[in-house]
Amino acid sequence: MRIGPVKKRSTQPIQAFGMAFEAAMKSLAADFLASDAFRHALTKGEQREIPVREFFRKNLPDTFELVPGEAIDLHENRTPQLDIMIYDKMKNFPFYSAQSELIPAEALLVAIEVKSLLTAAQLQSTLRSASQTKSLRPFRDEVAGPRRDGEHADTRARYMYGLFAYDSDFRGDDWDKAEFARLSAVSEEISVPIDVVDRIYVANKGLLMPGEKRGMMDLPEQAAGLLYFYMHIYNFLMRENSRRAPAPYLDYAGRMTQGWRKLE
């Protein structure tokens, strides 16, 4: 399911893949946007992250856990409260778990923020949250930036930060251009780089890739933006998780030598 570099990709799908891809778009994305859970969260605005979390939980491999909470590094830097954190539960476990979890920075792979209505104020909070998240130091090192086509792999850990919004207060044509322009203005105003947020999806409107200055509008009844949002997260998880070591839990716990003594 990996999406290759844009310059090397055909403009048309392989014929045998085309019909399956179209079916996936309808069943995976459009069906979710038409579901009762999505409609309830859209109208009520209560527990809005739950339908999004369940959508990803249902469609990602079982090894991945999706929970709300915070991440912390060995320098005691913490993220804000995150709506959805994705980590490999076969490699890692939370420090504690209640209604939200605290996980080590080395475990975090993807963070997703969920908004009912995307506004300028919400973009401000998203940029600040993403910046704080990417300021963590997993394995005592800085987080690597996004990898562009053709760049050599960086051995440092990466995070992907996504925003899912049920709606935007922008109305009218050219949503992608207007939303990107507003995001750029907010980024400049608060002096936070625009590319700390990797993907922004607004239901029934489209998808933005801020760091690449690209976007797409959703066509009626296709919801291609949501499918790409999901696929980009899926691809990132499979690449990053395969090269990521488990969290160094003993480093967080200290040397744990209290109580030990020689028996001879």
- Render pLDDT for 185-212 as a digit per residue (tens, 0 to 9): 999 999 999 999 999 999 989 999 999 9
Q: What is the pLDDT of residue 3?
A: 44
The domains found in the chain, sorted by start residue, are: 14-145+157-248 (3.40.91)
pLDDT tens readout for residues 12-33: 555 555 556 556 655 677 778 8
> What average pLDDT does this structure show over 55-66?
94
- How do residues 149-187 score in pLDDT, each as one tens digit? 656 667 899 999 999 999 999 887 889 999 999 999 999
Average pLDDT of the segment spanning 113-128: 96
pLDDT computed for residue 264 by the predictor: 80
For residue range 219-238, list pLDDT tens digits in order: 766 678 998 999 999 999 99
**What percentage of the chain has pLDDT greater than the value 90?**
61
The pTM score is 0.86
- CA dist list (Å): 128 to 91, 101, 195: 29, 21, 12
Residue 4 pLDDT level (bands cut at 50, 70, 90):
very low
pLDDT at 2: 43
